[in-house]
Amino acid sequence: MNRPVPHDRRIRLVLFDRDGTLVEDVPYNGDPDLVRPVPHAGEALALLRARSIATGVVTNQSGVARGLLSTADVRRVNERVDALLGPFDAWAICPHGPDDGCHCRKPQPGMVLQAAARLGVPPDETAVIGDIGADVEAARRAGALGVLVPTPVTRPEETAAAEHVAPDLLTAVRALLPAGPPQGHVPDDERPPAVLSASDRRPR
């Protein structure tokens, strides 16, 4: 399945879901030693940073509201993610549960808007990459570009509904890159492809 990304859209900020998108999904993880980047995550982020595209993380952490995690647990795991894949320009964390009625928990757009505002980037120059429908819906509600990178937990209906889908994180990022090389040398096989195919994940 090929769903082209509009290359006339300038992207200055890419926000990533954390679990299942940047790092392997460990449900309600409070242990930094269990953090494992997904394949090619470092390479994908390096491509963005080479083009001076800002990066950030927007993550639902309802384990805090459920009493399964402390805010200190979340902070330690985030610090490990940042050590392995950062530094990220912005972090936005929602500690609320699904029934708390907050404006930050994806699919609400609060974290996307917060991160973009913090970095001075308009939502329409922002992309969100995630593995479930809530990630791309948060992007849509914020006025950002959403890209789904499906995993085994992504529901078929979420993949079917996503406007832009890619098979993996590296493909998703390459499809967002501006045409032409970054400052400095980039091998030909790292140029952005013409189309994008991907997925989304389960809300947290």
The span from the CA of 31 to the CA of 34, in Å, is 6
Structure tokens at 50: 């080479």
Catalytic residue among 17, 89, 168, 200: 17
- 73 flagged as catalytic: no
Q: Which residues, 6 or more positions from 137, have their beta carbon under 8 angstroms from its beta carbon?
A: 106, 107, 146
3-state secondary structure 138-149: HHHHHCCEEEEC
- 189 flagged as catalytic: no
Structure tokens at 26: 């460990």
At 14, give phi and psi (nearest 5°). -120, 120
Helix (H, G, I), strand (E, B) or coil at 46: helix
The span from the CA of 45 to the CA of 85, in Å, is 8
Catalytic residue among 19, 73, 131, 200: 19
Q: Which residues are catalytic?
A: 17, 19
